[in-house]
Amino acid sequence: MGTFNKHIFLIGFMGTGKSAIAQQLGNLLGLSVADTDSLIEETSGMSIPELFQERGEDYFRKLETETLGKLAFLDRKIVSCGGGVPLKRENKEIIKKTGNVVLLTASAETIYMRVKEDTQRPLLKDNMNINYIEELMKKRQPEYDKTADIIIKTDGRNIFEICEEIVSRLKKLEDTE
């Protein structure tokens, strides 16, 4: 599969701006946008907090992998991935094979500021503090790094600057592939 046909997957910790950046990138590149969490909510008819509460995290993770598998057959898209996607080997294989992977990063402080009022993230619901975010992020970092083709820092930058950098880094990546 040539780079031109590949999806662009945005990965990274909760609150690194994946959804907002996916929308803006979609506009810039004229590509449609998908979001694994929204697709899971549509197919299951349940919200993410409901899924975690009523069916458990393992069930949610199963739907997540199924969703990524289905995306492989669709036209080129920008795909905003739930923060846990790169933690599972099977998911990692799917996204590396069917797309280019952009990792968004931010400091624990920035993430806390972005997500502190949010009630839709079950993993942070009872742990809404900088220390917990920092610990979980540290634990996940090796898998995030391993999965990424491109790493983009988002701290202190606006969405346009971030998208500009992603587009120029993706172009370079295409040239080398």
Chain contacts with ligand S3P (rule: CB under 6 A) = 14, 18, 37, 48, 82-84, 121-123
Name which of 84 and 170 has its Cβ closer to ligand S3P.
84
Name which of 125 and 172 has its Cβ closer to ligand S3P.
125
Neighbours of 128 (CB within 10 A): 15
Q: No. of H helices and E strands in the chain?
A: 9, 5
Provide, rounded to whole angstroms, the least separation between the CB of residue 76 and ligand S3P: 21
Name which of 3 and 47 has its Cβ closer to ligand S3P.
47
CA dist 144 and 149 (Å) reads: 10
Provide, rounded to whole angstroms, the least separation between the CB of residue 173 and ligand S3P: 23
Cα angle at 23 between 80 and 67, to 5 degrees? 30
Provide, rounded to whole angstroms, the least separation between the CB of residue 123 and ligand S3P: 5
Provide, rounded to whole angstroms, the least separation between the CB of residue 156 and ligand S3P: 20
Name which of 8 and 14 has its Cβ closer to ligand S3P.
14
What are the CA-CA distances from residue 32 to residues 2, 7, 36, 41 (Å)? Answer: 18, 10, 13, 18
CA dist 33 and 21 (Å) reads: 10
